[in-house]
Amino acid sequence: MTQHNFILLGPPGAGKGTQAEALVEKFGIVHISTGDMLREAVAKGTELGRQAQQYMDAGKLVPDDLVIGIVRERVQEPDCKRGFLLDGFPRTLKQAEALSALVEELHLAKPCVINIIVDDEEIMRRLSGRRMCRQCNAIFHVASDNVDVGDKCPICGGEIYQRPDDRKEAIAERLRVYHEQTDPLIPYYADRGQLVSVPGEGSISEVRQRMLQGIKCSD
Ligand code: AMP
């Protein structure tokens, strides 16, 4: 069976989660979001969640070893046989190197890395207006969806909330951390011939189209 593995790179709010769905559906692969996994651990109050929460609320990165550990386990689950899409991982050179070693060790298909490019000003606008459903994880924007904290989710009726790290100070910190820690992954993957860059402005379907063209598969 051919395995298709992808990594979505791009700053927080670039649309990785949204665009992930298109690839997951197209290739029948598993969406692995380290942010979602960590938030779930925090919500459930597990040991992992307890260790991760303080970093997350401040917009800082959770220590590499913790995140590498959860990804290492997750990609070996049986549902990842056809492939996986990593969203929000790797975020540091150490994580990228650990992933390359894991791909080799487990004889996995080399991931295609899609870098979604969006400038900082646009990220601030997108994230400060972002609201989410606590139940189904659907994403909304106060400007376009008429949904705000205290409302019920229009999809499942769950509670709408604002992620603590979508407050302006935390967004600024996440962008700073992104440029410092994650920017170096772009030359890392470009040098290995794994990188496809896609401008992230425009509608969801425009970005999706560019992404699918970039990885040379038709819609
Ligand atoms: P995200 O939903 O991808 O924006 O992730 C939310 C938060 O989870 C980040 O700000 C980090 O605190 C933590 N996190 C998620 N993925 C990683 C990762 N690969 N490395 C370190 N921390 C992470």
Residue 219 confidence class, pLDDT cut points 50, 70, 90: very low
- Find out whether the beta carbon of 163 lies less than 6 Å from any atom of ligand 1: no
Token pair of 141 as six digits: 């924007």
Average pLDDT along the chain: 93
Give the model confidence (pLDDT) of 178-191 as tens digits. Answer: 999 999 999 999 99
16: annotated active-site residue: yes
Please confirm whether the linkage preceding 90 is cis (ω < 30° from 0).
Answer: yes
Give the model confidence (pLDDT) of 75-119 as tens digits. Answer: 999 999 999 999 999 999 999 999 999 999 999 999 999 999 999
- Find out whether the beta carbon of 62 lies less than 6 Å from any atom of ligand 1: yes
Mutate to test the pocket of ligand 1, among 34, 95, 171 (most ligand atoms within 8 A of CB): 34
Q: What share of the chain is helix, strand, coil (3-state, %, to 5)?
A: 50, 15, 35
Does residue 43 fall inside a structural domain?
no
Give the model confidence (pLDDT) of 124-165 as tens digits. Answer: 999 999 999 999 989 899 999 999 999 999 999 999 999 999
Does residue 67 fall inside a structural domain?
no
Indicate whether 217 pLDDT > 80: no
| Residue in 130, 131, 208, 210 annotated catalytic | 130
Q: How far apart are CA 209 and CA 168, in angstroms?
A: 31
Give the model confidence (pLDDT) of 157-176 as tens digits. Answer: 999 999 999 999 999 999 99
User: What's the gap in Å between 211 CA and the centre of ligand 1?
Assistant: 23
Does residue 88 fall inside a structural domain?
yes
**pLDDT score recorded for residue 37:** 95
Other CB atoms within 10 A of residue 81 CB: 12
CATH number at residue 173: 3.40.50.300
**pLDDT score recorded for residue 58:** 86
Rounded average pLDDT over 197-207: 93
Q: How far apart are CA 67 and CA 84, in angstroms?
A: 16
> Which residue's CA is the nearest one to ligand 1's atom 11?
61
Q: How far apart are CA 71 and CA 35, in angstroms?
A: 11
Residue 218 confidence class, pLDDT cut points 50, 70, 90: very low
**pLDDT score recorded for residue 109:** 95
- Could you tell me which residues are beta bridge partners of residue 196? 114
Does residue 177 fall inside a structural domain?
yes
| Residue in 39, 126, 131, 174 annotated catalytic | 174
- Find out whether the beta carbon of 88 lies less than 6 Å from any atom of ligand 1: yes
**pLDDT score recorded for residue 88:** 94
User: CB burial class (10 A; 0-12, 13-18, 19+) of residue 104?
Assistant: exposed
Does residue 199 fall inside a structural domain?
yes
Does residue 37 fall inside a structural domain?
no
Does residue 114 fall inside a structural domain?
yes
Other CB atoms within 10 A of residue 153 CB: 20
Give the number of domains in the chain: 1
Does residue 69 fall inside a structural domain?
no
User: What's the gap in Å between 70 CA and the centre of ligand 1?
Assistant: 12
**pLDDT score recorded for residue 59:** 85
**pLDDT score recorded for residue 95:** 98
163: annotated active-site residue: yes
134: annotated active-site residue: no
> Which residue's CA is the nearest one to ligand 1's atom 1?
35
Provide the domain limits for residue 202. 4-29+82-218
| Residue in 131, 163, 208, 210 annotated catalytic | 163
72: annotated active-site residue: no
